[in-house]
Structure 1
């Protein structure tokens, strides 16, 4: 399994958006992102590897563009700069560098990113 591969999981097609050690980041056809442990994914009875990519009429408007696949093959320094910018923008919008309050990084949310009333 590699970044940009398509798999089936929980009765939906997902593109592998990233691999990080024991974790796999998946992007569903509908655009939902989730991170799951590789062992959990592989052991799930609904998991199927190497499925056909969705047609161009998928919910992305038919563009076929996948943000996760855009950095495949890019120079490592450029890739790291883009990922750092993404993390900063997610933190500015959500308070969390990963964009997910349920999976905060150490020290998140930082005080300057906590909205009053939260």
Structure 2
């Protein structure tokens, strides 16, 4: 027994129905399509074709449009090679500094040692 994918069957039906109604039809929702009479079989053929394209490629196309429609900064606004190289250079470690009015800070790597605004003190 052969197993058929329902999506393939629907696609074949839509293609056959589109070709049966009209071999040549304007793209769905185009000005030429909108100018057709509502009962013109080419309108249905274009709608079936568009629905089949959406079934096959809809989510991929939407994702592609989202990715390609993101505005890009102009070349003049982008960082230069020297700026990018500077950004890649390692940064010096952060120096802990206590702030007045805040609680003491535990000193990493030195258990029992705390940094306060006044001085470092042992616990």
TM-score, normalised to structure 2, is 0.20
State which structure, 1 or 2, has the greater radius of gyration over its C-alpha atoms.
2
TM-score, normalised to structure 1, is 0.20
Q: Which structure has greater strand proportion?
A: 1
Q: Which structure has greater helix proportion?
A: 2
Higher RCO structure, 1 or 2 (CA under 8 Å, sep 6+): 1
